[in-house]
Amino acid sequence: MSRATAPTTSPAPLSVRPAGHALFRPGRGSFLVHRRAVLVAVVLAVLLLAAVVLYLCVGESFVSPVEVVDVLLGRPSPDQLVVGTLRLPRLVVGLLAGVAFGVAGALVQAVARNPLASPDVIGVTHGAGAATVAAMSFGLASHTALPYVSIAGGLAAALLVYVFAWRRGLHASRFVLVGIGVSVALGSLTQLFLTKGDFLVAQQAKVWLTGSLNSRGYDQAAPLATVLLLAIPAALWAARAQRAASFDDDTAMALGIRLDRVRLGLTALGIVLASVATGATGPVDFVALLAPQIARRLTRTAQIPLLSSALTGALVVVVADLLARRLFSPVELPVGVLTAAVGAPYLMWLIARTRSRSGGTTS
Amino acid sequence: MARPTRRRIAWLVGCAVMLLIAVLLSLAVGSRQIAPGEVLQALLHGGTSDDAQVVRALRVPRTVIGVLAGAALAVAGTVMQGVTRNPIAEPGILGVSQGASVGVVCAIAFLGVHTLTGYVWFAFVGAAVAAVAVYAVAAGGYRGASPVKLALAGAAMNAFLASVVSGIVTTDAHALDEFRFWQVGSISGRGSDVIGQIWPFVAAGLLLVATMARGLDALALGDDAAKGLGHNVALLRVLGAVGATVLTGAAVAAVGPIAFTGLAVPHIARALVGAAHRWVLPVAALLGPVMILASDVLGRIVFPPSEVPVAVMTALLGVPFLIALVRRRTVVAA
């Protein structure tokens, strides 16, 4: 779907050191670092740290930052239950899911060169959702197997969209339309499974489906962390190759890069990450769409920065869940409600200011 | 009589027969199978047998609501496709149905409205606001409202409104209790009082749309051509929007959001009788109920003893249709 759309930004000059970059030569290797990107990453990390502390402090009862640090360092504390048992596991799941959604969106958008091609739009989250609800409702998979069911569902949905959208090539607009259609179908299949299953299970599944961190814990964090540990290095490695492709396909080919394989690999990685995050938290809509876009605007780079996207994703999820918990207290909103309430208008704004020809591809 | 006209009349009659069969099936099939003879007996002569009670108290209202909602949604889709000149315009995809849902939820949660006649007005307002917003978003930027931009704007609007709905129902237990019965598009469990409140709106909407059939034909030629033919393009658009909003609002208020009927039926109708709206509109008004009733009957028999809501069935039947439509090159280029 990417070849049809030329990048709208002009290619960076092929000088040894592009503007705004610093050259590092540690040992034998050498690599370019975008100065602004580093600055943004540092600022984001600081903000994320502040959000994490705030997240652990604020809740039905306020816990002072000093005591939070006590709990984190394992010192005996009266707030062990609230901070260590209730808030911390939930925060960890939120952080990991945010990183996964952010990186997933960055990978898919970078390959497609299209901000609208987020995992939400191409059916991944609905596929993961339908598979998980089916497994829950019919008792097909054990609790620990659910994350893998969800990955399988996400991959299957993406494959389905790919197959249906393929017709003498992959046209971006056809891809998006088919993605929306398949999402709707999977959404109603999910409804169907909900009505078929046991009532209590259906209620659990329904809460999960709104994208919530409520009562999430290390059970969900473990598979998420495992996948992230494997996927992030792979993504970083493949992104180097993708960067060469940002000039044009011929240059990349001359550099000996198998572009089609790199693209396929990056897309598959993005889909796996989005699916496993969905398995842990339920579909927290629009984080995968938003995070890379915010990161790209902050770093002002043509490529979508992986690190900043990951940090932004985590920041968005943590802040959104903090707001969702406190905004209407004592009632807690599912975090997915909040991200959709912010993300959907942003998507509409993106659509309204679209200038490119293929009706929805701007970068 | 010219041959095309004879063929169109044949299709019109054929669709009416299909509707008759669908109505009969809807009355006869269910957890209690009732023979068609018994159904007729119960309709014509009443009676106090269990079968007769089921037919008159449950199946008849359900079927009539299906007919009203199906006709309303299909005609609304036809008008939206005509006015926007866009093949994928449809109340469900464009978020108009979801807008009506938000209107209903707000009415329940904030204004203490608890009757269907009360809902209807809020459904209209919600549907209108969502329709205008989605069209405005999609029409911005390059090339105006292309299918992709309309679909994306609609998907975004659907997601946004869905989050508003779940935000309201999670903070308001009473609203959730009342809303959850209504939310999943279904034509079961809606009593005959719903029919009495809904049909004037559907009739008014259909009448309004019927008067603008020729205007819609002119719009299909482009704004300039329509102006040249002496039509007031702006007025046509407004009337079309009002008609589609009234029809969608009434249908959604009665049965909850049901997608894809408004998408598929107009295309089928055009394939049968050509592009002229004075033929497409009546055929769509007959086929819409056929689709709703057939989906509903199918939903009753796939997983006995429980029933699948009609909205789920129409989506599962409608999505392959959307994909087939998208795969045709002409649509993507539009």
For tokens 């009676």, name the residue.
Answer: B47
CB A108 within 8 A of CB A327: no
Inter-chain CB pairs, A–B, below 8 Å: 150
CB A338 within 8 A of CB B166: no
Contact B306 A357 (CB under 8 A): no
What pLDDT was estimated at residue A177?
Answer: 81
Least confident span in B46-50, B99-103, B162-166 = B46-50
Q: What is the mean pLDDT of chain A?
A: 79
Residue A358 reports pLDDT greater than 50: no
What is the rounded CA–CA span in Å between residue A238 and residue A244? 10
Cα separations (Å) of B71 from A71, A303, B4, B236, B293?
Answer: 63, 50, 24, 21, 11
A319 or B186: which leads in pLDDT:
A319
Contact B138 A344 (CB under 8 A): no
Q: How many residues are present in chain A?
A: 363
What pLDDT was estimated at residue A4?
Answer: 45
Q: What percent of chain B has a predicted confidence (pLDDT) above 70?
A: 90
What is the rounded CA–CA span in Å between residue A317 and residue A339? 8
Residue B45 reports pLDDT greater than 80: no
Which chain B residue has its CA at the smallest distance from A122's CA?
B152
pLDDT tens per residue across span B91-120: 888 888 889 989 988 888 888 777 777 778
pLDDT tens per residue across span A235-251: 888 777 666 655 566 66
pLDDT tens per residue across span B197-242: 888 999 999 999 999 888 888 888 888 888 888 888 888 888 888 9
Q: Among residues B265, B325, B331, B305, which one has the least CA distance to residue B92?
A: B265
A314 or A82: which leads in pLDDT:
A314
Average pLDDT for residues A116-135, to the nearest whole number? 84
The C-alpha of B329 sits at a distance from chain A's nearest C-alpha, in angstroms, of: 9
What pLDDT was estimated at residue A157?
Answer: 92
A352: nearest CB among B141, B306, B326: B141
Which chain A residue has its CA at the smallest distance from B155's CA?
A180
pLDDT tens per residue across span A281-309: 888 888 998 898 888 888 887 777 888 99
pLDDT tens per residue across span A225-235: 998 999 888 88
Which chain A residue has its CA at the smallest distance from B257's CA?
A188
Write the DSSP string, A175-207. HHHHHHHHHHHHHHHHHHHHHHS-HHHHHHHHH
* Chain A residues touching residue B163 (CB < 8 angstroms): 285, 336-338, 340-341, 344
The secondary structure element, H or E, covering residue B66 is helix B60-84
A347 Cβ contact partners less than 8 Å away, ≥ 6 residues apart: A116, A286, A289, B152, B156, B159
